[in-house]
Every structure is written in C-alpha cells, then in structure tokens.
C-alpha cells in the first residue's frame, strides 16, 4: 500500500515521521476522512474546505491546493486499488528541532500525508436493525468544531461502548439544566419527537458534512428541524434516534444504554432511503 507524504508516494509501512513531529508530540494537527468509491471522492470540496478553514484557524500552512489534493488523492486510490474505501488526510505543524510549545519559525514545512485503504468492515445489521449506543461523559476540549488530532477523549468513549458490544458512544455534558447530549464519538445524531427532528446546534461540536446534508435533505422533504440543546432525558424520550457520519451514513439507533427505540423508525427509514440519493450524487465524477 502507498501513502502520499510531503509530495511523494511512499510505501505506507515505511516509517517517515520524525520523533519531533508536532502531530506526534503535541497533537498539533488536523485531519479529514473521506469516503471513496471507484476512484470517486464523496463531498471532496466540502472536506477540503473544512480542512483549509481549520488550518487557517490554527495558523497552519497547507502546502497543496484543492486541485493538487484531488489529483494526488485519486492517484493514491488508484495505486492502492481501493474500490470501496476511505481516504485519510492529516496536516500537522511539522517538525521542530526539539520539543517546544512555541510555533516553529515561519517557513518550517508542515507535515501532510494521505492514506487510502479499503472500507472498514461494517455490520449491515446496524442499518437493518439499528445500532446499539452507550452514553459516556463528554471529556473533550473546546476545539470540537475542528477535526483535531486531540482525540483521546473520543477514544475512551468509543472503546467503552465497544467493550459493551456497542457501535458508538453518545457524549453528554452537564450544566445547570442537567445532562445534554453533544454528539457521537465520531458521528453526529438526530432524534425524532412528534414528527419533528432535533439535533444539537454547532457549538463546540463538529460542523459535520453528513449532518448538514441530512438537514438540507430533511428540509427539502418538508420536515421541521430544530438545532438546539438536546437534553439526555429528551433524547431518551424520543420516538426515533439515528446517527450520521461519512462512514455510518444515516444509521438507525436501536438502543441508547437501556432505552430501546424502533429501528429503523418511519422518519429514519425515509431519510436513509433519501440519503442514498445524496450519497450517490455526492461522489465527484472521475
């Protein structure tokens, strides 16, 4: 398998990263994960624009423009003969001589690499009968509108869910009004109450591309969506719950902890079907 690293195609299992890469020592970097099928890239423009916006926010240099990434990504996918897979992009603030918090001096090259690999094995039963989900405290930082490398709280939450046989964790914070649910460990979520859709507003959660596609789709279908704080009790009292992400697409939720939901529910079923059209149309032509 090949990787694309700082301008070159290299073997993925070659070790190319320095001990002093700020991605490795400080989590000083960002990433994207895209879906690829038959050499086409799903919502490529949206992903690369989000990466560029986060790079600008953190003051990181992105050494390639959108067209260069597109061309290189396609070659990488082609070289690795990935037909149905994932494309991973990572950008870090580069290598500094010794570990210092201070940003490297201007002109220090960033580290950029891409990996392309077959789609992770997924249990189709999660779409047919719904996924099991477990709640976990949201221990994340205040930079969750960006896809940063600071993912240890997500790792803990998702692995706690995996240990119980779950598919995903739903993260909750607490304030004076009680517990509220922010997002999944690597997905967004919606719930349905009385025929209306609810999902958290983008405040320290990711402006998920799939989330926005589903919002646009649901509105086009005439549904009402409220973007606001979703209390845990409110969520547990919903008629339907579903996850959305690049890999999960629209995935019904069968249970959150001990609470069961019909899966897929009526609204979820309609959105799953409609999203397939968005999904297919969202792949950039070769």
Among 75, 85, 74, 94, smallest CA distance to 26 is for 94
Asked if 107 touches a copy of itself (CB under 8 A), the answer is no
Residue appearing with tokens 């086009």: 220
Nearer to a copy of itself among residue 20 and residue 284 (C-beta): 20
Count Cβ atoms below 10 Å from residue 73 Cβ, excluding itself: 22
Contact range with a copy of itself by CB under 8 A, out of 67-75, 145-153, 194-202, 260-268? 145-153
Asked if 88 touches a copy of itself (CB under 8 A), the answer is yes
Nearer to a copy of itself among residue 149 and residue 225 (C-beta): 149
Residue 110 burial (10 A CB sphere; 0-12, 13-18, 19+)? buried
Structure tokens at 104: 């490297």
Asked if 35 touches a copy of itself (CB under 8 A), the answer is no
First to last CA, the chain: 21
How far is it, in rounded angstroms, from Cα 198 to Cα 185?
18
The dihedrals phi and psi of 148, each to the nearest 5 degrees, come to -90, 170
CB of 176 to a copy of itself, least distance (A): 7
Active site residue 158: no
Q: For residue 269, what is the DSSP state?
A: H
Site for a copy of itself in 13-32 (CB under 8 A): 13, 15-21, 23-28, 31
Asked if 217 touches a copy of itself (CB under 8 A), the answer is no
Site for a copy of itself in 147-206 (CB under 8 A): 148-156, 158-159, 162, 176, 185-186
For the chain, what is the radius of gyration of the CA atoms?
19
Structure tokens at 65: 């423009």
Nearer to a copy of itself among residue 43 and residue 112 (C-beta): 112
Interface residues with a copy of itself (CB under 8 A) are: 3, 5, 12-13, 15-21, 23-28, 31, 33, 58, 88, 90, 92, 98-103, 113, 115, 117, 120, 137-143, 148-156, 158-159, 162, 176, 185-186
**Catalytically annotated residues:** 147
């Amino acid at each position: 398998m090949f990787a694309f690293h700082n301008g070159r195609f290299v073997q993925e299992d070659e070790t190319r990263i320095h001990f002093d890469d700020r991605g490795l020592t400080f989590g000083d970097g960002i990433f994207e994960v895209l879906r690829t099928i038959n050499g086409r890239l799903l919502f490529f423009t949206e992903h690369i624009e989000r990466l560029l916006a986060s790079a600008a926010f953190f003051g990181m240099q992105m050494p390639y423009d959108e067209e260069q990434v597109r061309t290189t990504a396609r070659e990488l996918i082609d070289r690795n003969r990935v037909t149905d897979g994932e494309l991973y992009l990572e950008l870090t603030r580069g290598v500094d001589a010794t570990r210092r918090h201070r940003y490297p001096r201007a002109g220090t090259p960033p580290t950029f690499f891409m990996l392309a690999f077959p789609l992770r094995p997924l249990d189709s039963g999660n779409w047919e009968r719904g996924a099991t989900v477990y709640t976990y405290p949201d221990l994340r930082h205040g930079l969750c509108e960006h896809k940063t490398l600071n993912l240890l709280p997500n790792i803990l939450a998702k692995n706690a869910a995996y240990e119980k046989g779950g598919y995903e964790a739903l993260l909750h914070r607490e304030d004076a009004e009680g517990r509220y649910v922010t997002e999944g460990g690597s997905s967004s979520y919606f719930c349905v109450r009385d025929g209306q859709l609810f999902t958290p507003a983008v405040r320290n959660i990711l402006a998920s591309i799939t989330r926005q596609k589903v919002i646009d789709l649901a509105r086009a279908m005439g549904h009402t969506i409220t973007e606001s704080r979703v209390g845990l009790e409110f969520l547990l009292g919903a008629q339907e719950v579903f996850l959305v992400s690049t890999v999960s697409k629209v995935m019904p939720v069968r249970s959150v902890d001990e609470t069961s939901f019909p899966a897929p529910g009526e609204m979820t079923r309609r959105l799953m079907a409609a999203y397939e059209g968005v999904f297919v149309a969202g792949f950039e032509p070769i």
